[in-house]
């Protein structure tokens, strides 16, 4: 394999920069990834490319399965000679690709997977796995942001005291739940129960029933593979407990239609939201995306768009296609994107190549579905409205 990248490293300077995009086109979250990447590439090309080199996006559909993703990655590197890959929003898939980034010495950035294991692996075997970059928040960071928002909105604002953690059983929720169980008591929410459900669950009645019996003030969620069904059943059964947390499907603008409006009142963590100018680049990106594709980008759309820009920037700074130089350049990324300022943690961090979070980096948002719209309610300086719940929710009267 070695000769291949060496050959590509000695390419002529005016050859295009090829970026492979591996994602599932049939899912709402995944379909935005190649679209947003193409949008970024076209914008860069329209303004002259990178030192005269055009960006070319090569897309592969992996149907969110690890074997298809690995085959796509091999093809991207060996047949299509890409310079870097943007891959998947499913942790299981990214974890399967991770060793291949080392074997084929090709940079991979994920726009949406969350599992902390991705960066933990890099820490264990940096020299081999340094080609992997975690272009989305780790599960631990996601949980930290939910806790920060819950502290202001629920504990200080609504005097809530107790919570039940409800997550789907998947790779990304293991570190998420661990952080929830640690940070919720710290902000003053006693965790009464911790429920992990199968992503195949279709009838959530028994789960909601059990939770209701425990009388928590709030349910803290970690759901991505499921979303429509628990939300619809929560509304239909009029479960009187509000939901806050990470609910990936709720970030999609189509979620209102998919649930026939049952999502009214659901609170979810996001890195972006309609009309929220996280940076000066956010709203122009959303407008351009809507104009071209007729819908709003999913959360991975924002990150995939930024990734094309900062990969192009890193290739420019690296001054060559050499993957090791590209890794060095990416580690020095300081790029204001659509979701905040992108900076990666360094080689010596316990989780190398994770996004830095917090003020000045990526601060995150808490949004709530209200009357068919996603309204940002946290942090206060970016808030567009106040919390509001459907009638069946009994705030603060659970005990």
Partner 1 sequence: MLFWQILIDGFAISSLYALGATGFALIFGVSGVLNLSHGALMVTAVVAAWAAGNDLHAGPYSGAALGVAVGFGVSLLTYFLIVRPLQQSRKIREEEKEIFILTATLLWGIMIQELIAYLYTNNAKTVAPIVEGVVSIVGVRTPANEIFTAIVCWLVIAVLWLLVNRTRAGKAVLAASMNPRGVTLLGIELSQIYVAVWAIYGVLVGIAGVLLGMFLGVSSYSVGPLTASAFSIVVLGGLGSVSGALIAAYVVGYLETMTAYLISPAYRTIPALLLLIAVMYVRPRGLLGRR
CB 114 within 8 A of CB 142: yes
* 127 is a site residue for partner 1 (CB under 8 A): no
Binding window for partner 1 (CB under 8 A); candidates: 3-11, 145-153, 181-189, 258-266: 258-266
**Which residue, 99, 104, 88, is CA-closest to 4?**
104
d(CA 81, CA 179): 40
Measured from the CB atom, the residue of 74 and 201 that comes closer to partner 1 is 201
**Shortest Cβ distance from residue 231 to partner 1 (Å)?**
9
Q: Which is nearer to partner 1, 233 or 333 (CB)?
A: 233
Quote the least distance from Cβ 262 to partner 1, whole Å: 7
Our finding on whether 254 is near partner 1 (CB under 8 A) is: yes
Q: Which residues of 340-357 are buried (b: 16+ CB within 10 A; e: fewer)?
A: bbbbbbeeeeebbbbbbb
Q: Tell me: does residue 238 bind partner 1 (CB under 8 A).
A: yes
Of residues 232, 288, 336, 382, which one binds partner 1 by CB under 8 A?
232
Question: Considering just the CA atoms, what is the radius of gyration of the chain in Å?
Answer: 21
User: Whole-number minimum distance, CB 200 to partner 1, in Å?
Assistant: 8
C-alpha–C-alpha distance, residues 56 and 36, integer Å: 13
Dist CA 108 CA 82 (whole Å): 11
Judged by CB, which is closer to partner 1: 247, or 326? 247
CB–CB of 379/363 below 8 Å? yes
| Among the listed residues 62, 258, 264, 307, the single contact to partner 1 using CB under 8 A | 258
DSSP conformational letter for 298? P
Q: Which residue's CB is nearer to partner 1, number 45 or number 229?
A: 229
Rank residues 25 and 283 by Cβ distance to partner 1 and give the closer one.
25
Contact between 109 and 133 under an 8 Å Cβ cutoff? The reply is yes
- H-helix or E-strand spanning residue 375: strand 373-378
- Residue (52 or 213) nearer to partner 1, CB: 213
Q: Residue 84: beta bridge partners?
A: 19, 107
Q: Give, as ranges, the residues between 187 and 216 that touch partner 1 (CB under 8 A).
A: 197-198, 200-207, 209
If the CB atoms of residues 202 and 397 are measured against partner 1, the closer one turns out to be 202
Query: CB 391 → partner 1: shortest distance, Å?
Result: 11
d(CA 354, CA 342): 10
Bridge partners of 17? 55
Among positions 34, 175, 222, 227, the unique one binding partner 1 when judged by CB under 8 A: 227
Residues 347-366, mask of contacts with partner 1 (x by CB under 8 A): --------------------
- Decide if residue 260 touches partner 1 (CB under 8 A): yes
**φ, ψ for residue 30 (rounded to 5)?**
-70, -35
Interface with partner 1 by CB under 8 A: which range of 70-78, 113-121, 227-235, 311-319? 227-235
Q: What is the C-alpha end-to-end distance of the chain, expressed in Å?
A: 63
Residues 10-69 that bind partner 1 (CB under 8 A): 26-28, 31
Count residues near partner 1 (CB under 8 A).
Answer: 33
Give the angle 275-276-277 at the CA atoms, nearest 5°: 110
Cβ(146)–Cβ(137) below 8 Å: no
**CA atoms in the 13 A half-sphere facing the CB of 24:** 17
- 262 contacts partner 1 (rule: CB under 8 A): yes
Q: Tell the smallest beta-carbon distance from residue 300 to partner 1 (Å).
A: 14
Nearest distance in Å: CB 269, partner 1: 19
Q: How far apart are CA 363 and CA 378, in angstroms?
A: 10
Query: Which residues make up the interface to partner 1 (CB under 8 A)?
Result: 26-28, 31, 169, 197-198, 200-207, 209, 226-229, 232-233, 236-238, 249, 252, 254, 257-260, 262
């Amino acid at each position: 394999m070695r000769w291949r990248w060496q050959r590509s490293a000695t390419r002529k300077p005016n050859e295009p920069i090829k970026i492979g995009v591996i994602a599932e086109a049939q899912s709402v979250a995944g379909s935005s990834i190649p679209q947003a990447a193409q949008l970024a590439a076209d914008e860069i090309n329209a303004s002259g490319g990178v030192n005269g080199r055009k960006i070319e996006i090569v897309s592969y559909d992996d149907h969110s399965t690890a074997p298809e993703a690995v085959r796509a990655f091999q093809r991207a590197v060996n047949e299509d000679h890409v310079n870097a890959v943007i891959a998947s929003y499913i942790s299981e898939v990214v974890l399967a690709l991770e060793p291949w980034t080392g074997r084929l010495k090709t940079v991979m950035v994920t726009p949406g997977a969350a599992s902390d294991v991705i960066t933990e692996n890099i820490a264990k075997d940096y020299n081999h796995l340094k080609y992997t970059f975690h272009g989305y928040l780790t599960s631990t960071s996601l949980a930290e942001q939910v806790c920060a928002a819950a502290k202001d909105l629920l504990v200080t604002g609504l005097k809530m005291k107790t919570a039940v953690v409800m997550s789907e059983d998947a790779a990304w929720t293991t570190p998420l739940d661990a952080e929830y169980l640690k940070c919720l008591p710290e902000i003053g929410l006693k965790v009464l129960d911790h429920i992990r459900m199968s992503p195949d669950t279709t009838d959530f009645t028994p789960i909601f029933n059990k939770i209701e019996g425990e009388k928590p003030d709030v349910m803290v969620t970690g759901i991505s593979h499921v979303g429509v069904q628990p939300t619809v059943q929560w509304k239909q059964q009029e479960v009187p407990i509000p939901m806050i947390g990470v609910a990936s499907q709720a970030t999609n603008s189509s979620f209102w239609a998919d649930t026939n409006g049952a999502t009214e009142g659901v609170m979810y963590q996001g890195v972006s939201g309609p009309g929220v100018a996280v940076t000066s680049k956010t709203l122009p990106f959303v407008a351009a995306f809507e104009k071209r594709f007729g819908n709003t980008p999913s959360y991975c759309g924002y990150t995939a768009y930024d990734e094309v820009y900062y990969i192009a920037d890193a290739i420019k700074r690296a001054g060559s296609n050499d993957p090791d130089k590209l890794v060095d350049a990416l580690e020095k990324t300081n790029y204001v994107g659509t979701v905040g300022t992108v900076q990666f943690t360094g080689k010596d961090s316990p989780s190398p190549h994770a996004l830095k979070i917090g003020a000045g980096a990526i601060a995150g948002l808490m949004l709530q579905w209200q009357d068919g719209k996603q309204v940002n309610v946290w942090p206060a300086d970016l808030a567009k409205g106040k919390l509001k719940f459907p009638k069946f929710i009994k705030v603060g009267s659970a005990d």
